[in-house]
Amino acid sequence: MKEYYRDKVCIVTGGANGIGRCLVEVFANAGCRVAFIDLDQKAGSRLLARLPRPDEHYFCCGDVGSEAVLTEFAGQVIERFGQVHFIMNNACFSNGGILSGCSYEQFNQVLKVGVVAPYYLTYLLREHLAKGASIVNIASTRAFQSQPDTESYSAAKGGIVALTHALAISLSGKARVNSISPGWIETAAFHDERPVPQWEGPDASQHPSGRVGVPYDIAHLALFLCSQQADFITGQNINVDGGMSKLMIYHGDHGWQLTDSMVN
């Protein structure tokens, strides 16, 4: 399997920390040459230095919500590597929502990073996609279910799920396009300065899988979706949430009780 990935070119947005960093490490360790972009200069440079064959990878410090930055990044990727085999559109963030006063500009900032950037980066690289190319968009189960005050993030994640199947049809014959929707993923182990909590008790057992997720759960699926074994899979979204989105709970189920404070 490792021979398949050797020297293939993989792009990761938001690659310095969290799930993005795990994607960078997993694809680099599989043998890929990785180009990644992130606003965190310190974390990105540190990650680049500890990757295998660091001179064969490329880190760009920049904001994918900027058209100029995306254009420059894509240009550098083409100049350095010539073609692209895998694109991991991972970067996104939240500016809250209607309850916390998320403004017009703040809402659009999230959409620029979470939806526009994946579209435009793919657009810029469309003529440089290698045979058998695969694009994996990191969405979220929040595209399908919500907590209060999450409109900016939920809208971006809903948008990238729709973008996934649209691109899969438009790029048919050039690239397969799929999305992964993580649920609760504990990313602290992929942030150098954060202590790693140990989620036990109800936090873990509420999941049908019996545990909280880790970034490897996402990265290993992404690796599979880019493999030859997945060449019949395109236009799909796959939830990776320990089964939480399939767990139906009503008042009185599993010891859960609806209270007036939850309603009001």
DSSP 27: H
CA angle 198, 200, 206 (to 5 degrees): 130
Q: What is the dihedral of CA 204, 210, 211, 213, to 10 degrees?
A: -130
* Residue 249 pLDDT > 90: no
**pLDDT tens string 63-110:** 999 999 999 999 999 999 999 999 999 999 999 999 999 999 999 999
Q: What is the residue type of 107?
A: F
CA neighbours within 13 Å on the CB side: how many for 250?
Answer: 0
pTM: 0.94
* Residue 159 pLDDT > 80: yes
Bridge partner residues of 129 (DSSP): 84
* Residue 264 pLDDT > 70: no
Which residues are known catalytic residues?
153
Average pLDDT for 229-233: 98
Domains of the chain: 2-263 (3.40.50.720)
Cβ–Cβ < 8 Å for 109, 161: no
